[in-house]
Each structure stands twice: as C-alpha cells, then as structure tokens.
Copies of this chain bind each other. A is one copy, B any other.
C-alpha cells in the first residue's frame, strides 16, 4: 500500500482530471470540471464516447491495456472513474503513479454483490437476507435460507437489472444458476418494500462529508425512470439515509461521490440494496436544484477541493429519457425545466439517452409519515 500515490495539494485550476469511462456520467463530470477551470482527459474504449465531445483530451483504449492506461494517467493530476466495472487492477496500476479516487478497495467491494452485502452487514446496517450461490445444490439450499423466494443476481458486472432473475422455488433457483453458467451469484430474499430511495453523498480528502437530500426513485423494467425530491421519505428517514452513507464512506476511507440505493420497507425500515462508487442517475436533479451538483461535488472531492454545499434550493423531479424515446427530442425540447441529452448516436432499447428535470419551489421533507 506504500506504493499508492497520494494527492498532496488540491489540483489548481488549469490542472487535469483523468476520467476512466466516457459515458454520460463521464460527460457530465467533464462539464462540471470545466466550470471549475479544470481540464479533463477521458479514457474510453468507444471512439464515439459521449464524454469525448466535451473534454480537453481523450484516449481510445481498453481498461486492461495497462501501458495505455499508464500513459493516460501520466498526463493527469488525479484520476477518477465514472463506471464501477473498471477493473480494480487498472485502478491499482494507476495508483502507483497518479493519485486516483475512489480507492481500489472501495471499488473491489462494490464490484461484488456478495462482498458488498457482507460489508454492509458488518457495519450493522440492514440489508435483505442474502446467501451465496455457486451450484445447483447451493441454489436449492439458498432458497430455503432466504425464505422461499428471492432474486438471484450474478455477483459481478450486473446493472440496470441485467444478470438478475426472480426465483420462487428451489427448482427455479437451480435452473437459474445453471442459466448463469454457474457464475458466482447471490440470492437475496425478496423484499416487499414500499418504494425505493437512494442517497447521494460525498466525502472529501479531509474526511469532510456532504449528503444531498435522498430522492424517492421509481423504476420501470429495473431501470430508473424518475427521481423525486423530496419523495415520500420522512425527515427521520432522510437523516438515517445520510447517516448510512456517512458510515459507509468513512469505513471505506472513500473520496468522491457515492450513492447508496435503499429499499424503504412498509414498516419504515431502510435496507441497503446496493452501493455505487460513483455519481448516480438518481442524483442528476442536483444539476439544477443545488448550487453544486453531484458532478461538481465529485470533481471537488477527487481534486482535493473543499466540498460544496449540498443544500437544495428547489424541489425537483428528474425523468429519464430511454432508448427510442430520444427520437422525440422535439417534444422534450418543449418540456418546461432543464433538458439534458447525452450525445449518444445510437438509440438502443432501455439505453439512457438523456433526462429532464422540472423544478418547483422548495418544500421540506415531511416531518412524519
């Protein structure tokens, strides 16, 4: 660990932030860095990466091309990533020569659903009951452990519902792990939650912490459709959500923005569903409703700057524009509020193409349910 290069002073304006990954999150990070007078260098395998359109430098390369990654890192004052499936080995490689945040340990834990749930559990935070699954026999046993039904997920590389199957019997569990080709998996008890929520928060190099108000999130086909802030969370639940994010980020010695996805149960309990070690779709509303957005907050954190004020000055509803819906850009261009399109040329089903946020005057979270 002594090989890890640490940031010794804040990155001055004119300095360069390296971003691994060039999707819409990388694009919005680059735009946020530009506001602060910082340059960006984006590294992505896709020559048409949306972030390439708005950065000072870009490199087309694979994450496992460590020589190319090292050349990229050599041009940067600090490196970060927009994508939790960057190989932890790549992050560790960068860390030897250039400061990189968040750290590789945080990335490793959040890349593996089983490690992640175990970590959350070890902090005394609540999750759905879960069990490891590697074999058909194990799958049958796991169904019993979690109460007869649940959601089987591959431990690694899933997002937006990919690599997830609902199972309601031992037979289904066995056939599912087979269909996963015995990829290491996890079975999570089915949670009869009332709704989903999330908390987006940041931790700075100085250990400071700032959390945005937690939105209520509405999913369709496992893909986020809408975030509402304030949603149905009570003030006490909002405070608890922020406290969860604080505990997680402190324990991980995390630097940057992270998101914690939550299930809000019918009895009001908050369960941790997932940790995303990056800016998050459910925080896009901060672009308009806060003076410092989640994207700027992440740049501030990784650049060693003081965190900005996460206070909201308006209520907000963020709605995603998915797949072919983006063809209706003329309709969206008339929507009152703020429109964001991500510069993606191809409209694939369910692909996040843009979003819009409508603002209304500020109200507080409800003081009770």
Chain A residues engaging chain B, CB cutoff 8 angstroms: 10, 12-14, 27, 30-31, 34-39, 52-56, 288, 291-292, 300, 305-306, 308-309, 313-314, 326, 329-330, 333-334, 336-345, 354, 357-359, 361-362
Contact = CB atoms under 8 A, between A and B. Distances in A.
A141 B175 CA distance: 98
A291 B35 contact: no
B333 A14 contact: no
Given A305-B333, A337-B291, A361 B313 contact: yes
11 contacts: A10-B330, A12-B329, A27-B34, A34-B53, A35-B341, A37-B329, A38-B341, A54-B54, A291-B357, A306-B333, A361-B362
Nearest first, the 10 closest Cβ-Cβ pairs linking A and B are A37-B341, A291-B338, A53-B56, A34-B54, A13-B341, A291-B337, A37-B343, A305-B333, A313-B314, A306-B334
B343 A13 contact: yes
A309 B336 contact: yes
Count chain B CB atoms within 10 A of each CB in A37, A55, A314, A361 and give the residue with the most. Answer: A37
Contacts of A359: 291, 313
A339 B10 CA distance: 16
Contacts of A10: 330, 333
Given A54-B56, A56-B54, A340 B35 contact: yes
Contacts of A334: 306
A34 B31 contact: yes
Contacts of A55: 54
B314 A37 contact: no
A336 B311 CA distance: 10
B354 A37 contact: yes
A34 B313 contact: no
A342 B309 CA distance: 21
Contacts of A56: 52-54
Nearest to A16: B53
A224 to B, nearest CB: 19
